[in-house]
Chain A
């Protein structure tokens, strides 16, 4: 019986046990949901946010944002393809993951999330992108040879119809899918919030505001990611980004941050004012375990600083170069801040005992499955996928190659 657990796990748990302050239930030494479960809502949030930004073009006809429409869609797809991986890798029995789809438990938020994820990926995102790119895929297929011709043929599902009626139908279809897609994107990330918010055993998580806070922060992170990528791509291509577009995204970002800030502030004010049984230990949790990650990184660097920058950009007439730099900086700060927010929710909720009498510690592994290296790899993977997608489905190919008649 003894020595049955792996050496590295024993070492990690012994270290975590030595860091315990006060009293905890003995089974609470192990951090059940570690770094990979921080990465998971971070990735899903970016998917939902990027899609909602894209929908502004299709549904609300915000023409200024048109230049990033395809970028936002491909970003959503690239992050979506990776979003399920941290969950899969985290499981004790990854080979049984299919059970979630074959024998789901209807009362489980996690089981239902599997279907929401699949619906969003297969029912919304892929179909939307297919309609958006169908015309281009046909034209690209006509211009290529050999293997690539086959690939483009397959991607367009061997459709060939480029008549004006067919193209009009594409346009209409993608608009309808976007309209269905908005509530679906809300559902996708609201649901992630619900997975945490519905845990009544954990007062740090169990809040009715959790789904909506997750949703708002998702929108913030998605917009910031698309803004970051747009500026980065323009730098790499040595081009000027469309400043009207950037300013518009900056405005949406500012509004989203204000709403996000207001919601999170409301959550904390509500907790402090109600001052329930758990308030003492939660205050200790924030001051002793989450001071840097929550007050410094999430609040100060990730929210207030970019908020001030975005307000300044709107109120003072900076030149284009400076504005671009400020947008770039604030998008990076926001992406860092939202990652910290995910950390503070997921890890923070496991750093205090449900006995409300003590604090635990989390020591992140550097290598292994549930480790820093895996997390970094999963965070890098969407960018690699995105670069492949850019090659396969160049977002601006039509502007350069399409016959004039097609427009």
Chain B
């Protein structure tokens, strides 16, 4: 190889190598972008949440705590968790309202109406499905399931195509207008990996939400699962939710 050939090859080689190097981290595929403490072992956990429908009083504190903790836009179009109020009428009709979108809290949580035979609140959030359709459809692998069973979005990788929002049967996702990426409940992953509770669970005054580890032997959630009749939302879609509802009415979708 003479000098000229060497220089020619070198000119080609260095930019090519630099380009490849720049692309390499992206090409590795699913990186684990969630920051966890050094001694945290994700394989030892399988997180879920129990919701005791009878205990929820519709105070909306969980929603406020979630918005504050996770920097969720305040506008009433974006929720990582929200509360629905169901009213079962004497004629068999059901009316539903999302109480979390109201500008001001109602004077009466439950209006006095003789036509209403039963009323209850249902907290909703991402179901952290074991078989998540949102992960399946993401074209770039930006939304993924961690080894401890939490579905997360890597906001540095998400291209904002919104396919995951369409694929979620529970309406649990939205496009965050600040980051222009898909966003949803993370079970407060930054807290739970530190051994803390998710913000919504922490603030719930009636312990309607029970956070736990389905792999833990003496865990509260495991006990909750054992002593209650459990339902999940839209079981026919085979998403295998890990948000488990106790005493859930059949009207709830």
- A pairs with B: yes
Report A's interface with B, CB cutoff 8 A.
1-2, 4-6, 9-10, 13, 17, 23-30, 32-33, 87, 90-94, 96-97, 99-100, 102-105, 107-111, 114, 195, 198-202, 350, 353-357
Please indicate the chain B residues that have their CB under 8 angstroms from the CB of A97 in the complex.
159
Q: How large is the interface on B (under 10, 10 to 19, 20 to 34, 35 or more residues)?
A: 35 or more
The secondary-structure label for the interface of chain A is loop
Contacts A27-B172, A30-B175, A200-B237; A92 near B158 (Cβ below 8 A):
yes
Chain B residues with Cβ below 8 Å from A96 are 140, 157-159
User: Measured between alpha carbons, how far is A25 from B76 in the docked complex, in Å?
Assistant: 11
User: B118-145: contact bitstring with A at CB < 8 Å (1 yes, 0 no)?
Assistant: 0000001000000001011111111000
Per-position contact with A for B208-249: 1 when CB-CB < 8 Å, else 0? 000000000000000000000000000001000000000000
Which of B71, B77, B159 contacts A92 (CB under 8 A)?
Answer: B159
The total number of A-B Cβ pairs within 8 Å is: 159
Q: What is the CB-to-nearest-CB distance from A30 to chain B, in angstroms, rounded to a whole number?
A: 6
A200 touches B162 (CB 8 A): no
B162: A residues at CB distance < 8 A:
32-33, 92
The answer on a CB contact under 8 Å between A28 and B171 is yes
- Looking at B52-60, B176-184, B186-194, B198-206, the stretch in contact with chain A turns out to be B176-184
Determine whether the beta carbon of B174 is less than 8 Å from that of A93.
Answer: no
Q: Contacts of A25 on B, CB cut-off 8 Å?
A: 82, 98, 124, 170-172
The 7 closest A-B pairs by CB, nearest first: A92-B160, A25-B171, A92-B180, A201-B169, A111-B139, A23-B96, A110-B139
Tell me how far the C-beta of B156 lies from the nearest C-beta in chain A, rounded to whole angstroms.
Answer: 9
* Minimum CB distance partner of B72 in chain A: A1
Could you list 4 further interchain pairs (A-B, Cβ under 8 angstroms) beyond the known A27-B77, A27-B79, A92-B180?
A32-B166, A104-B140, A201-B169, A201-B237
A5, chain B: closest CB distance, angstroms? 4
What's the nearest-Cβ distance from chain A to residue B99, in Å?
10
CB < 8 Å neighbour of A354 from B158, B169, B179: B169
Give complex CA distance A372, B199 in Å.
41
Binds A, one of B23-31, B36-44, B105-113: B23-31
Contact A201 B138, beta carbon cutoff 8 Å: no
CA distance A29 to B159 in the complex (A): 21
Rounded to whole Å, the gap between the CB of B3 and the closest CB of chain A is 31
B9, CB-defined interface residue at 8 Å: no
Given A13, A90, A104, A110, which contacts B77 in the complex, CB threshold below 8 Å? A13
Contact of A102 among B23, B97, B133 (CB under 8 A): B23
Question: Contact: B74 with A26, CB < 8 Å?
Answer: no
A sample of 30 cross-chain residue pairs with beta-carbon separation below 8 angstroms, ordered by A number, consists of A1-B71, A1-B73, A1-B74, A5-B178, A24-B171, A25-B172, A26-B77, A27-B79, A27-B173, A33-B166, A87-B161, A91-B160, A92-B160, A92-B175, A93-B159, A93-B180, A96-B140, A97-B159, A99-B142, A99-B157, A102-B23, A102-B26, A103-B141, A104-B139, A105-B140, A108-B140, A114-B139, A198-B137, A201-B169, A355-B253
Contact B26–A103 (Cβ < 8 Å): yes
CA distance A94 to B157 in the complex (A): 12
Q: In this complex, what residue of A is CB-closest to B182?
A: A92
User: A1–B178 Cα gap in the complex (Å)?
Assistant: 10
A13 to B100, CA, bound (A): 16
B13 interface contact, C-beta 8 A: no
Do B181 and A111 touch (CB < 8 A)? no
Q: B75 and A13: CB pair below 8 A?
A: yes
The distance from the CB of A97 to the nearest CB of chain B, in whole angstroms, is 6
Known contacts A27-B172, A201-B133; is-contact A99 B166 (Cβ 8 Å) = no
Known contacts A91-B159, A93-B160, A27 near B140 by CB under 8 Å: no
Chain B min CB distance to A19 (Å): 13
Are B27 and A2 within 8 A (Cβ)? Answer: no
Q: Which of B29, B74, B171, B173 has the most chain A CB atoms inside 10 A of its CB?
A: B171
Partner of A108, one of B96, B97, B139: B139
Q: Nearest Cβ in chain A — how far from B93, in angstroms?
A: 11
Whether A200 and B169, one on each chain, are in contact in the complex, defined by CB atoms closer than 8 angstroms, is yes
Query: Which among A97, A102, A198, A200 has the greatest number of chain B C-beta atoms within 10 A?
Result: A200
Q: How far is the CB of B185 from chain A (nearest CB, A)?
A: 11
Q: Which of A25, A26, A32, A198 has the most CB of B within 10 A?
A: A26
Contacts of B76 in A (CB 8 A): 17, 26, 29
Q: What chain B residues lie within 8 Å of A114 (beta carbons)?
A: 139
CB distance from B130 to the nearest CB of A (A): 15
Report Cα–Cα, A354/B165, bound state, in Å: 11
Complex contact B177–A5 (CB within 8 A): yes
- Name the A residues within 8 Å of B21 (CB-CB): none
A201 in contact with B167 given A33-B162, A108-B138, A357-B253 (CB within 8 Å): yes
Q: How far is the CB of A115 from chain B (nearest CB, A)?
A: 11
B177 in contact with A99 (CB, 8 Å): no
Inside 8 A of B181's CB, which chain A residues have their CB? 92-93
B103 to chain A minimum Cβ distance, whole angstroms, is 11
What's the least CB distance linking A65 to chain B, in Å?
37
A33 to B137, CA, bound (A): 15
Q: Knowing A25-B98, A32-B165 touch, does A103 contact B77 (C-beta < 8 A)?
A: no
CB distance from A70 to the nearest CB of B (A): 35
Tell me the nearest residue of chain B to A106, going by C-beta.
Answer: B141
**List of B residues within 8 angstroms of A102 by Cβ:** 23, 26-27
